[in-house]
Chain A
Amino acid sequence: MTDLAAFRHETREWLEANCPAEMRQPVRSEKDVCWGGRRAVYQPGQKEWMDAMAARGWTVPDWPTEYGGGGLSPAQAKILKEEMAAIGARNPLSSFGISMLGPALLKYGTEAQKLEHLPRIARGEIRWCQGYSEPNAGSDLAGLATSAEDAGDHYVVNGQKVWTSYADKADWIFCLVRTSKESKQGGISFVLFDMESEGVSTRPILLISGYSPFCETFFDDVKVPKANRIHDENKGWDVAKYLLGHEREMISGMGLGQSTGGNPLVEGAIATIGLDESGRLADPMLRAAIAEFDVRARAFAAMSERFIDELKAGRAHPAQPSMMKYAGTELNKQRHELVMAAGGSDALEWESEGSGGGAKARAWLRTKANSIEGGTSEIQLGIIAKRILELPS
C-alpha cells in the first residue's frame, strides 16, 4: 500500500514537471492526436511529451522494459492513468502499434521480432496500418483473397485491401494474406511489411466527415520476407482474432473522454440553450435525454474500469471485448447525436473558424464508423450470443 502511495506521489510530481501545458488541453479534433511515425508532423509540445513519456516506457506502461515498456504492475498502470486524468494530460501516443499489433507480437512474435518492432512502436518511430478488410471480405473477414505465394525465403503478395485507415500515412502494415486455399480460416497467414516496399500503392477515400481518409491499398508482386510472418504459416487467423480483441477493446473506450475536467456535452448545451430560473437546462426534453445518457455513460465508465481490472487479472471472458465494443460505440454515437442536438445551428457549421473547422459536425459523422470498424455491432452481438450466452447456431 505504501509502495503504491509513493508511486502515486512520484508519478504526480513527474507528470507535473514534464507534461507541457499544450498537452493538458482537451483533444478537440483528430489533428490533436499524436500518431508518431517517420513522416509525423508535430504540434507544439507533442513530440517533447511523447519522447519524455517514451523515455520512461510510459507510452506503453505495462509492457516489459526490454521491449520499451514501463514494466508497471496493473495497479501502478491504473495509478498512472488516474494521475494523467487528474491533470487532463493527453495520451502521449496513439497508435495501432500500441493498441493492436503490440499485444499480438507479445503473444505470438519470436524474440527477434519483438526486439525489432516493439521498442520502435513504444518510441513512436513507426506508424502502422491494418490490412484486414477487402472488397469482398468485410464482416466475413476470413473470406479474404489477397494471395501470398511461396517463393523460398519470401512470399509474393498480390491483391487488394480496402478501408485501410491511414495507409497513405503509415510506415508499415500488418496484413492478412491467403497462403492456402484449402481451408477458409486455416489458410490465412499474418505478415508485416514496409509500405515503401516495391509494388505497394494506396489511394485515399474521403469519408463523410470530410477528413481522415482511409484508403484502397493495392499489392502488386510485393516481396515479403518469411521472417516477417508472425506465428506459423496458415495460423494467421489466431493472431488476427487475438488482435481484433485488442482493437475492440481500444474502440470501446474511444470518445469516453477523461473522467475529470467537466462534461463537454453539458457545457455545450448550457452555452447554447441556457438554464431556466430553477437552474435546469431550459429544454426539458433534451435535458432528460442528456440526463439518461449521463447515467449510461457513467455506468459504462464503471464497466470499462471493471473490464480492464478483470482483463489484467485474467478474469475476463475472452469474448468480453465484443460486449465492450458494442456498448461503447453505440454510446459514443448517442453522445454525438446529443452534441449536435444541443449545438443547434452552431454545430452544423462546416468550415468557420469559430467552429474549429466544423469540429462538432465532423466528429459526429466520424463516430458513425465506430459501430462498423473493427467488426460491426451486429457481428459483436452475434459473438456475445454464441460465445458468452452460448445460444445455438
Chain B
Amino acid sequence: MPLYLNDEQAMLRDTAAEFVTEHAPVRHLRALRDADDQTGFSRDLWRQFAEMGFTGILVPEDQGGLGLGHVEAGVVMEAIGRNLSPSPFLSTAVAAVEALKGTAHAARWFRGIAGGETVAALAIDEGAKHTGRVVMAAERSGNGFKLSGTKRSVQHGHVADLILVAAQTGEGVTLFAVEAGAAGLTADPRRLADSSLASELVFDGVEVDADAVIGEVGGGQAVLDRLLAAGRTGASAELLGVGGGAMDMTVDYLKQRKQFGQPIGSFQALQHRAAHLYSEMEIARAAVLKAQQLLDAGDPRAGEATMVAKAMTGLATTLSVQEGIQMHGGIGMTDDYDIGFYMKRARVLAELFGDAGHHADALARASGY
C-alpha cells in the first residue's frame, strides 16, 4: 500500500475540508465562545456531520455506517483540526466506535452515532496528566457493579449520552458503558484554555447492570488499548490539522506583512525557520498516515507507529503554533487574530491521551530501554 491517500480517500479529504471550512470555520468557535455556550459544540453541526456520513465512517455498513477505516476518519479529524471546530467527533465517532465495535453495545449505540443523535465521552484519566493508570474501583453489587471514584478531563462529559468508564474490578480493568442521567453521577464542567469544556465526573456509587460491561469483565485493558490507539491516531490527525493550519496562516502572513520596506517573508532568518517548520509538519504527516494504515491493516506494528504519530505531531504542531505567534509579531498576541486560538487548541490536544514525552517514553520501553 503506497503511503499516500488513494483517490477515494483524497476525494473524501476534499469533501471534508470543504464542508468543515464552510460550516465550522474558526469563526464558529469564536461565536460559541463569545456566546458563553455551555454545550461546547453545536448539535446542529453534529447532525450535519451525520448527514455527510462522517459520524459513521468507522461504523460497519450493516450497522448504519460507511465501514471505512482510520485513514478516512483521519481526513475528517484533520479538517476539524485545521478549522478548530469544536466537535465530539474524536470521542464519539472514532474512540467510542472503535471500543464498542464487535461488542453487544454496538447494536445499542451505533445507529445513534451514525445518525448524529448520540454523543459519547471517555472517562479514562484520573490525574492532571494521562498515565494510562486506572485506580477507580467497580464493586460487584447485585447482578451488576457499583462505580465509585473521580475521572478528570472528560471532554463532553457533561452532555454525553454515553460515557465509557475504565475501572478496576477484582479481575483487572473493566470498561463500562454508562448512560447519561445515571443516579449518583455528577459532572462539573470546566472551561479550558482553548474554550472547550472538560468535566470532572464524580461517580458516587453509580449502579450499572452486568450488561454495561464492554467485552469481558477484567478484559477491559484490551478494549481500552483499542480505544486509545484509535483516539491517539485521531488526535494526531487533528494535531496535524492544527499545525498545518497555523503554518499556512503564518506563511501567508510572511508574504503580506511589510517591514523595512519589504515583505518579512523575504528575510532569510524567517525563511529558514518557515522551511524547517514545513519539514517537521511533513514528517509528522507521514508518521500519522503510517499509523493509520497499519491500524487499518491490523498490523502488529500499529502500536508503536501510534506512539510515534502522537509524539511527532505533538512536537511538530507545538513548533508550528509557537513559530506562528512569534512570526506574527504583536498582532499574533491579539484575541482578534486567529493564530492564538491555534496555540491554545494545540496545547490541549498535545495533552490528550498522553503528550510527546509520554509516548517517547512508551516507545523506549517497547524497544527495551
Contact = CB atoms under 8 A, between A and B. Distances in A.
A389 B278 contact: yes
Interface string B202-233: 00000000000000000000000000000000
B333 interface: no
B367 A295 contact: no
Contacts of B315: 292, 295-296
B63 interface: no
B350 to A, nearest CB: 14
Contact of A270 (B270, B290, B356, B369): B369
A381 interface: yes
Given A288-B360, A290-B369, A313-B2, A302 B272 contact: no
A287 interface: yes
Contacts of B360: 288, 291-292, 294-295
Say what secondary structure dominates the interface of chain B: helix
A309 B363 contact: no
Interface stretch (B163-171, B184-192, B281-289): B281-289
A295 B271 contact: no
B3 A302 contact: yes
A392 B368 CA distance: 48
Contacts, number: 143
A210 to B, nearest CB: 31
A315 B265 CA distance: 27
A263 interface: yes
B95 interface: no
Contacts of B308: 295, 298-299, 302
A384 interface: yes
Say what secondary structure dominates the interface of chain A: helix
Interface string B317-359: 0000000000000000000000000000000000000001101
Given A266-B369, A382-B268, A388 B363 contact: no
B362 to A, nearest CB: 9
A80 B282 CA distance: 26
Contacts of A298: 287, 304-305, 308, 363
Interface in B270-322: 270-272, 274-276, 278-280, 282-287, 289-290, 304-305, 307-309, 311-312, 315
Contacts of A391: 251, 254-255, 265-266, 270-271, 274
Given A315-B4, A391-B255, A392-B265, A269 B286 contact: no
Interface string A270-303: 1000010001110000011011101110111011
A295 B279 contact: no
Interface string B232-252: 000000000000000000010
B364 A294 contact: yes
Top-4 shortest CB links A-B: A385-B271, A384-B275, A299-B287, A302-B290
15 contacts: A266-B369, A270-B368, A280-B369, A291-B364, A295-B315, A296-B283, A298-B308, A299-B284, A299-B286, A305-B286, A323-B279, A327-B279, A380-B275, A391-B251, A392-B255
Given A275-B369, A279-B365, A381-B272, 4 more contacts: A280-B365, A382-B272, A382-B275, A392-B263
